[in-house]
Amino acid sequence: MTHNVLVVDDEPKLCDLLASALGQNSIQVFTAGNGLHALKVLECEDIDLVISDWRMPGMDGPQLLAEIKSRFPQLPVIVMTAYSTVKNAVQSMRNGAFDYIAKPFDIDELDITVSKALQFRDILKDNQRMRAELDEHQQIDSLIGDSPSFRRVLHAIDSVRESNATILLTGESGTGKEMVARAIHKHGNRADKPFVAVNCAAIPEGLLESEMFGHRKGAFTGAVADRVGRFMQADKGTLFLDEIGEMPLALQAKILRALQERVIEPVGDPRERKVDVRVIAATNKNLLDAVAKREFREDLYYRLNVFPIPLPALRERVEDIAPLARHFAHTLGATAGKRFTGFSAEALQAMAHYSWPGNIRELQNCVERATIVASGAVIEEEDLPAYLFASNAGTSGALVTEGSVPADLEAALAEVEKAYILAALAQSNGVQAAAAQLIGISERSFWYRLKKLGIHVDKIVR
């Protein structure tokens, strides 16, 4: 690795001597005859180390050291001084110099001191790079935000990402649990190994065991070939068990054994297989309530809850709505061949006042719809979907102030009902069964309300 060293001395012969000595160690040497010239070099070149004389005309060594510590605080400085002025060297160390060498100096001693200073510089650069990468990582996968509640999430991710501990992500639907799981994997010690995601609610109960642990050919009707399960697919990597609260009780015991003993047994195969996986589970349920109702094993809960990370709802981090919306507008606009510079103040205010029951997923859908209909570089209030305003109106109308009553109660109640139904449809991407479940009514009742309120549902509601 080549380093750049700046030698500052008003004696050209000494500069040449140092350049010759240091140049043999893969070091590129720059020279300056005084402090002012040195500062000009520092502004133009990426210097890793400064070696400066103590006494120079114009700007001397102490003044140059003070300027470097002010402008380039992490740049190490070695001071050269005569044996008779060691006191000055001690003072320079107190003022921030990395070290000093006494004239006339020994070449071996010089090499050792320079080597230590450059190692120090490399460590500082690596730390800066790692912090910059971590800051960048926190922006990846929509992990965007600076609210106190979200900073706690980022701090938790940073604390656990290099660990192999089992992690339990909790929070409402749409808060980004899978994105957090992927970020933990991507920036942890298993980043170069597989990340395997399983939605426990999306796989039929009869197939879930085979999906998790695999099966041998002929183990059951339809098992026409051997199958490798998700645990083996994730070996040495990360297994993400989404919606773990929906896992059948019968399978929970086998999951618990896999976590405790790190072994699995494929269906139809009595031989055990060792696995090395880091498990991240996620749920939007209260698992302690499920334990109390005997719907979830208590021992599995405590096995999963080694490092819990609760994810806040979007309404609990209102200050993050604007940066998230800008991020989605930028990425989605680029995909559609459009370039957006941001949102109008009115559009941002409307989004800030909405409750976002679908959280980040709903916000992304909202912004995607806005990028489609927006005609300019700035997304305006009228580009946002109507349900944002219907919900706001419904909420404000429901809180009737003293002395004010709606002129038409049935119409006012219908507006509130319509707002909730539109919000549920937006959150569920137009899936009526899911929307009905969100607001706690049957599918038949939901369908009746759609017809009564004149709501037409396309396949996807944006």
- Region 66-75 average pLDDT: 87
Q: Which of 262, 263, 280 is nearest to 196 (CA)?
A: 280
Find the length of the chain. Answer: 462
Q: Which two tokens stand for residue 25?
A: 């160690």
Contact partners, residue 381, CB within 8 Å, separation at least 6: 344, 346, 347, 350
- Confidence (pTM): 0.57
Average pLDDT, the chain: 83
Rounded mean pLDDT of 424-444?
Answer: 76
User: For the chain, what percent of residues have pLDDT higher than 90?
Assistant: 37
Q: What is the dihedral angle through the alpha carbons of 330, 331, 335, 339, rounded to the nearest 10 degrees?
A: 10
Q: Is pLDDT larger for residue 455 or for residue 274?
A: 274
Question: What does each C-alpha distance from 116 to 76, 105, 193, 309 come to in angstroms?
Answer: 10, 16, 36, 42
pLDDT score recorded for residue 393? 45
| C-alpha separations of 402 from 141, 399, 406, 408 in Å | 46, 10, 12, 17
243-266 pLDDT, tens digit per residue, is 999 999 989 999 999 999 999 888
* Span of 17-26, 212-221, 396-405 with lowest mean pLDDT: 396-405
Cross-strand pairs, 78 = 51, 99
Alpha-carbon span 77 to 127, nearest angstrom: 19
Enumerate helices (H) and strands (E) in the chain, giving the number of each: 19, 16
Tell me the sheet residues that pair with 195: 238
Confidence band of 343 (pLDDT split at 50, 70, 90): very high
Domains present along the chain, CATH in parentheses: 3-133 (3.40.50.2300), 141-312 (3.40.50.300), 315-453 (1.10.8.60)
As beta bridge partners, residue 79 has: 52, 100
Instruction: Give per-residue pLDDT as tens, 436-447.
Output: 777 767 777 788
Q: Do the Cβ atoms of 366 and 384 come closer than 8 Å?
A: yes
Distance CA 26, CA 115 (A): 11
Distance CA 255, CA 264 (A): 9
What is the token pair recorded at 436? Answer: 């009905």
Please write the tens of the pLDDT for every residue from 86-143: 676 677 777 788 888 888 778 888 888 898 888 888 877 776 666 555 544 444 444 8
Give dist(CA 142, CA 158) in Å, integer: 16
Nearest Cα residue to 285 out of 312, 240, 245: 245
User: Which value, in Å, is the radius of gyration of the alpha carbons in the chain?
Assistant: 32
DSSP assigned state of 214: E
Most confident of 220-229, 353-362, 417-426: 353-362
